[in-house]
A and B are shown apart, each in its own frame.
Chain A
């Protein structure tokens, strides 16, 4: 260690120490001269050698190299600008993507001790849900010693404030929610676990900062006032802070104490019925507790719960523990999407680097003279190589700085446009900086290494490196273009294709009878009345019931066995008129009778998979201990998986005990906009305690599609950027090749070669790499798009039109990029060229 300090001391005092060394050697020389010796070496060289012992020579050289590189780059501003631009795009795209991932999955929430917050979810080998029953939550909270706190969030449909037309988002939370997060109130107070856990106290509410501003004009006098939520009087006790960080990124505008849920949702058994899982559970691990020991304890507690409620706890159930102190609790499929985005953005970087590598190689030929002189006056290969690497690194760093700035601007704009939590900041933190640094080094290595090696060995004229770079560029742009093409097609498909059911004129009305404690009989009476009144409303065409409405809050899927095939199905329970309401054709057989048992209707895709050669009607499907007979085949309808073209449906007739969970679907003759207010008033008449959630499928569908549209737009943009980069790169390379071979071309033409032959000779060296790049790129895209399959709205991953369009565009651009500069070969002034030199 002390040697290191001495070295640093030498570095700091190197000027003085160098002077002392010089004086020593001068003295030595004087003495030697007296003794009659005169053959001294080069003092400067000797001193340099002696200084090497201090171990800082590399720093001196680096300084020299950097100064030299700066001069070289400054002398070619056009090239430098181009290179920095290319790199800024390549690095900027990656930095933006990583920053986004960082904000979502890596940055800690600005709450108290975010590292110990965990998300707790029920899992078993067969089942999974992200919610537990309130009773289980209380049980875990009381008994888990490894958890210092258990928090719960009960999400509910939007609620009405006073007489607002537009409902407001709301959640019920355990009273320790805010205190565990260490959230201070912007005004008034937030929930206090010692005061707000009693169901019978006067109802209280906490409002979000945004709602307070929008709805209540930011008046601090609102605290203490009484407002009405779903017609229930409630006192505002406080406002959450402006930059409030909540768990799981859920930010409702109304926060209510969970103990008072029955007051707002009359007749609800959610808090007492241990069969209803509807609370999201979060925990805080005690100090020094590992996830493993917590998991063990929770497993023991789950087993204890099973003894108390054998029916409610699954076989082999356990509680899955995930880190919860980030904006998003990452699920495996989110990681898959993140990985896909990472691959795409890295491809952009690859295109940018390959492009720049080509430019550097071309430049190397013009620098041949300069490098030659440097070699001639004694610079070794290693020194030249190091110099070139320094140049690349300098370029890369300038590019990265620009890229970092670009990433910040892009995210700033994106965050402003989206409704994101206020605490999120696109400012790069140390992770983003580290990432940028690594990407910068990798980029410098990738675009600078091959040219530097070639140049240092003075093999500038070899074509193989250029060919590899062209192939890499073409392959990477090919992948990007194809993926972009598929996504554009997918969007198109999503916007203009039929999901298999009518959504333009359909309304879903979810009265949430179960949550209000309706018995099956009461639910049936209510639904019958509501349905018949809707039917008698002019303009209403068809009304029916469904347990899992399209684009609803929950989906379900399981795999079933039909004649030896395992088929993943989306199950649903429906009333007989459902197919008519939704406009789903019954292709074969008949629909149900009301409440019919042991019969199913399957989708066409199901029938095709299970009985490709037989008549599906009359076939038997065994599901555990029940066995059902197929009575009909309906058209494919992606009711619970709009994004998944492979979705397969299986329908059962709704049974009396299903009634509390049913949603009403109503289709209209014209535009359905007239119906929601009518449905609302009918419902109010039937039971004023209910606040049905009325949604238009059209709106829901367009919301879903717009997400894919945006993704497709971004990916297309990225794809086009990549193709433009590749095009510019190829223009540069071909122009360079033509200028390099001017003499040869002139001689050929002078000797009578046809212009086309000359053109072919010039371009031949690029034909193989382009073909190779296209093949590799197409193959890679085909493999990668299998991953995309599930998020593509029903487009085939081998969609020939998408591929053909992408490859066509790419080939056209490459051809254009090659022919533009190659035309120069035709305009050669033969005499002048041949007389030159």
Chain B
């Protein structure tokens, strides 16, 4: 299933699943925290809209890259925490190396052309 993510808030297309996987790599988070983490880590450049985050999360869930478990939020509310699966870890590795290659290639073109 092709992912169709519109570039929004400076987010390059197709990057969101990879970013979500990356932030989940260091531990399970709930939806809002994922958005916050990406926002903070990108020095507030990338804003993840609700309307983009949840469809993407559902897609990743269906792919089996993450699973969701119930937990308690910092505000004491019952909420689902998303956790990376072994498949998700593999996928992250593959996407990162692919991304590195592509950015490297783009950099090369930009530098020499």
Contact = CB atoms under 8 A, between A and B. Distances in A.
B51 A3 contact: no
Contacts of A24: 30-31, 54, 79-80
B79 A27 contact: yes
Contact of B32 (A6, A27, A51, A52): A27
Contact of A3 (B56, B62, B75): B62
Contacts of A46: 50-51, 54
B84 to A, nearest CB: 16
A164 interface: no
A53 to B, nearest CB: 4
A609 interface: no
Interface string B35-46: 100000000000
A21 B51 CA distance: 12
Interface string A52-94: 1111000000000000000000000000000000000000000
Interface string B48-59: 001101111111
Contacts of B54: 21, 24-25, 28, 46-47, 49-50
A25 B50 contact: yes
A612 interface: no
Contact of B59 (A20, A27, A29, A53): A53
Given A3-B64, A25-B50, A55-B1, A31 B75 contact: yes
A28 B51 contact: no
B77 interface: yes
Interface string B75-98: 101111000000000000000000
A30 interface: yes
A673 B63 CA distance: 87
A53 B58 CA distance: 6
A427 to B, nearest CB: 42
Contacts of A28: 31-32, 35, 50, 53-54
B23 interface: no
A10 interface: yes
B68 interface: yes
Contacts of A2: 64
A674 interface: no
Nearest to A2: B64
B68 A27 contact: no
Contact of B80 (A6, A23, A52): A23
Contacts of B73: 27
A41 interface: yes
Nearest to B77: A27
A40 B51 CA distance: 9
Contacts of B68: 20
Contacts of A6: 61-62, 64
Tell me whether chain A's interface is mostly helix, strand or loop, or mixed.
helix
A52 B57 CA distance: 11
Contacts of A23: 78-80
A799 B30 CA distance: 84
Interface residues of B, number: 25
A49 B50 CA distance: 11
A31 B32 contact: yes
Contacts of A21: 54, 58
Given A23-B79, A51-B58, A41 B51 contact: yes
Contacts of A31: 32, 75
B85 to A, nearest CB: 11
Contacts of B62: 3, 6-7, 10, 53-55
Nearest to B35: A28
A404 B50 CA distance: 52
A32 interface: yes
Contacts of B75: 30-31
A46 B51 CA distance: 6
A49 B80 contact: no
A46 B54 CA distance: 8
Nearest to B73: A27
B80 A53 contact: no
Contacts of B30: 24, 27
A499 B55 CA distance: 81
A20 B58 contact: no
B1 A32 contact: no
A27 B51 contact: no
Contacts of A20: 68, 80
Contact of A30 (B55, B56, B77, B78): B77
A3 B64 CA distance: 7
A51 B51 CA distance: 11
Given A7-B62, A53-B62, A32 B51 contact: no
Contacts of B58: 21, 50-54
Contacts of B53: 28
A20 to B, nearest CB: 6
Contacts of B31: 24-25, 27-28
Contacts of A50: 54-55, 57-58
Given A25-B50, A52-B55, A53-B55, A3 B63 contact: yes
Contacts of A7: 62
Given A7-B62, A55-B1, A41 B50 contact: yes
B73 to A, nearest CB: 7
A720 to B, nearest CB: 54
Interface string A134-176: 0000000000000000000000000000000000000000000
A753 B112 CA distance: 82
B57 to A, nearest CB: 7
Contacts of A52: 55, 58
Contacts of B79: 23-24, 27
A52 B61 CA distance: 12
A40 B54 CA distance: 14
Contacts of B51: 41, 46, 49
A37 to B, nearest CB: 10
A219 to B, nearest CB: 72
A54 B54 CA distance: 12
A29 B35 CA distance: 12
B69 to A, nearest CB: 11
Contacts of A41: 50-51
A771 B64 CA distance: 63
A6 B66 CA distance: 12
A50 B78 CA distance: 20
A2 B63 CA distance: 9
Nearest to A52: B55
A438 B61 CA distance: 37
A51 B57 CA distance: 10
A6 B61 CA distance: 9
Contacts of B80: 20, 23-24
B97 to A, nearest CB: 22
Nearest to A28: B32
Most chain B Cβ neighbours within 10 Å, of A20, A29, A50, A52? A50
A471 B68 CA distance: 61
Nearest to B60: A53
A55 B35 CA distance: 24
Contacts of A25: 31, 50, 54
Interface in A1-41: 2-3, 6-7, 10, 20-21, 23-25, 27-32, 40-41
Q: Which 6 A-B pairs have the closest CB atoms?
A: A53-B58, A50-B54, A53-B59, A31-B32, A50-B55, A28-B32
Given A7-B62, A46-B50, 7 more contacts: A20-B68, A20-B80, A23-B79, A23-B80, A28-B31, A28-B50, A47-B54
23 contacts: A3-B62, A3-B64, A6-B62, A7-B62, A10-B62, A20-B80, A21-B54, A23-B78, A23-B80, A24-B30, A25-B54, A27-B31, A27-B73, A28-B32, A28-B50, A28-B54, A46-B51, A49-B54, A50-B54, A50-B58, A53-B55, A53-B56, A54-B62
